[in-house]
Structure 1
Amino acid sequence: MSERPPLEPIGHLGFAQVDHAREARNGVPEVVYGEGKSAAQIAAIVARLVERHARALVTRLDASKAEEVASEQPSGHYDPRSRLMWWGRAPETLKGTVAVVCAGTSDLPVAEEAAQTLEWLGAPVARLSDVGVAGIDRLLAHREALARADVVIVVAGMEGALPSVVTGLVRNPVIAVPTSIGYGASLNGITALLGMLSGCATGMSVVNIDNGFGAAWQAARILTLVERGPAEPPASFSLPT
């Protein structure tokens, strides 16, 4: 009986090259960014990912494209608020919890992109919504629960003040996500982004505007490190002689 040929590290589709080796390198299969791709292209990429990895995730997918993709790949699940569509889940659950904190109801699409990405990655998620600084008592009522989260993602628009407040209340990592929500001087999220980047609270990192997906990925990597424990330090970074 002849041996099966090795699985290809790159899936060549003509319009796309699917990086099957990414799961071996990074622990998670390639994720598909939906904007700018046709439904047929997305469905073809997803078919390869599901066949090889038994799971797939598409971000920024509008409802009309999702319907077309579902006709080709019917086992997927689509959420119109987060604009995520996914097939399968992580084979194991990560240890620890990520709290996804949302300043206002208008920020929920970005918060849900973060929360549902985390769930697809196998991370337990606790949600806390509509606790912006305009009504600070809403946030402080959950102070103890926030302190117990291993990582906190804070999503806020307008002036972007909430992440600094949360960072001052907890000892664990905070990932701030500016959103494009706000009036004219918010500049589609630039004001919130600059405010978060200029924050004085230590222990807070910042991702791009509306990038709930990126925040989720970073939080999941932190949980992975917690589960793995300390790694052996590299022997040397010097070049061989």
Structure 2
Amino acid sequence: MEIDQVSYSHQFAICTLVTDHAEYQGMLNSFARAGFSPQNSQFIFADNSTHNKLDAYQAVKKFINHADAEYIIICHQDILLDFDDKAVLEQRIAELDAIDPNWGICGNAGYINFKNYAMRISDPHEENINVGPFPAKVKSLDENFLVLRKHAALSVSSDLSGFHLYATDMCILANILGHNSYVIDFHLRHNSGGNIEQSFEQSKRALLNKYANALSNKYIRSTCTKMIITSNRALNRIFNRNLFYSIRKRIEIITNLFRN
């Protein structure tokens, strides 16, 4: 098979971390009513009903690796497709394809910037939340419902763990890889309003520490060039001119002379 002729056995893979099989079955029933069937979709789950065999980061990596589908849906067991169906999701995906060939992940709730958000959901807080316009390009997504493009080859960080902020982690990594994240107009019901407890704060600290290190200023040398990388584009241009390296080298030589 040629590399540009990769095909998948299914259109969708619906992947869920399960702690309550009765609730999961209710979710599956709603997907069936919405047009997702074994003919067009894989149904993959990680069973945490007796104990936590996998945390969310481990489960997501396994979901992505095992899914043989063009689109990977990672969702909570407590969602119900009570409103929009498979045909609507296909339409929303087609809209993204038309406006942004580099989209990598989408969902139904997320923040555009530090102040503004987009959301399309019904949950215990409010019915029929509709904050657009859609699709809205965002920097983060909520974990209750996510759709990934398989060929975007997204994942989560191997040095993070727990059950929180894995969608934010994926959005950051997607951006680094050149892909964009969106909130789409896909209305479903989420039977949870969210839960912020001690483990959430631990996950938040871990994510902050990880990216403080990962995105810090770096001096990198490859076999054919050397680079100083900062978050400032103007400084990157200045620091990576040959003149700068020449001056820097002279300073190093003089410094070493005085040390000796």
Smaller-chain TM-score range? under 0.3
Select the structure of larger CA radius of gyration: 2
- Give the structure-2-normalised TM-score: 0.22
- Give the structure-1-normalised TM-score: 0.23
- More RCO (CA 8 Å, sep 6+): 2
